[in-house]
Amino acid sequence: MTTSGLLEPPATREEKINTLFSAGIWLLFLGWTVYGFIISAAPVYWQVAGWVALPSFVVIYLYSFLHPEPLTGLPRFANTLAYTVVLVGLGFVMMMSTLYAVVNMVPFLMALWLFSSRLRTGLAAVALIAVVVTSLVVALQLEAYESWLLPAIGIPTVILVMVRISIELEERQRVNSERLALAEQREDLAGTVHDLLGHSLTTVTVKTQLARRLLRVDPEAAERELDDVLALSRRSLSEVRATVTDLRQPDLLEQLDQAEQSLCAAGIELRRPEQLPALTLMQQQVVAWVLRETVTNVIRHSEAQRCTVCVVDGDDVGQVIVRIDDDGVGLPAECADAGPGTGAGAAGTGTGTGTGAIGEHHGLLGMRRRVEAVGGTLRLVDLEPGTRVEARL
């Protein structure tokens, strides 16, 4: 689900198959339309047109779930409205051959609006469609259809609405869980900063007061105390910077832009993904952290000419693979997790993140900790030449 409350279109092959199955199961309702074609007494040209319109209706209906926004310059609502106009037009052609098509169209139009729109918009559309179709049957005095009109419209409506509401609730629960986890993480880090500053500043204050008292009576002792204060200040500053870094939750797109600027300033070409897959809030945060730390190491250690960032869907549902490659000096033998050429994995291509000779660098440890905290894995691969950092989330 996007931040605007719209359902994300399927991205992976498995998601597309599941979507086609979920949407296609309602095609069973077209059985009545097919029966109506068979017994139709309409003119031949309308019967032919109806048989042509039927598969067209099915294809466009299913396509709308795979590509809810084919008109990229228009919002989702306008795209759904365009699909509706096309489907209603095809339905009208079928209706000229059999009136069964009037009622049989209803579940498809309802499903289109429920699963392509925000929940509130979808529910309003469902109510409007039900009223329009009921009014049409009554206005046309189709008494033969009135006996089964209610179950034909009511049963699919109830099922569709319940499914859509359950998806909405599940998605909101997932998003709230992620936000809660991030809030707990920030609270924990904030407490760490507080404790760190409290201890460090207290020590600095005590030692500074002592040095001030010793300044006239024992300058050498005062100088030693000031040296201790200086060393403590530098160490505390380093610790605070590392901890405060944890508090800032980077934005992925913003981080890609910053990475491009930093690498360009260092004379390193960046190849970045043109389009990102659908990521959860937690995945976006972790990918941004991995990108930031890896690009920093590329600039500092890799001596690379080119850096390639690749973010793609993994083989498992919901999995994301991040690869950052460089063509620099590569890793020391003790740092690599795999030999050359390994880790290419299942998705995408790439050429590099230079971590260079970082060993057990604080940034690498922090990056690995974040990835593993969300159940992912982090690998460093020597590409000969160059280095690959690969995270699977």
Question: Is the model's pLDDT at 136 over the cut of 80?
Answer: no
Q: Does pLDDT of 51 surpass 80? A: yes
| pLDDT, tens digit, 9 for 90 and up, residues 165-185 | 888 888 788 778 877 877 776
Mean pLDDT for 36-43 is 88
Model-level pTM? 0.49
Mean pLDDT of the chain: 77
Which of 19-23, 51-55, 64-68, 124-128 has the highest mean predicted lDDT (pLDDT)? Answer: 51-55
Supply the pLDDT for residue 245. 60
Q: How much is the pLDDT for 226?
A: 82
Q: Which of 62-71, 193-202, 213-222 has the highest mean pLDDT?
A: 62-71
pLDDT tens digits along 255-288:
788 788 777 777 788 888 888 888 887 788 888 8
* More confident of the two residues 346 and 246: 246
Confidence of residue 3 (pLDDT cuts 50, 70, 90): very low
Q: Name the residue with higher pLDDT: 220 or 99.
A: 220
pLDDT value for 150 = 64
Confidence of residue 364 (pLDDT cuts 50, 70, 90): confident
Predicted local distance difference test score (pLDDT) of residue 243 = 62
For 13, how many CA atoms within 13 A lie in the half-sphere containing its CB? 4
Token pair 């290419």 is found at: 344
Kindly report, residue by residue over 27-36, the tens digit of the pLDDT. Answer: 877 888 888 8
% pLDDT > 70, the chain: 79
- Of residues 98 and 147, more confidence is placed in 98
Do 310 and 344 meet the contact criterion of CB atoms below 8 Å apart? no
Does residue 40 carry a pLDDT above 70?
yes
**221-239 average pLDDT score:** 78
Question: Is the pLDDT assigned to residue 353 strictly greater than 60?
Answer: no
Mean predicted confidence (pLDDT) in 2-8: 59
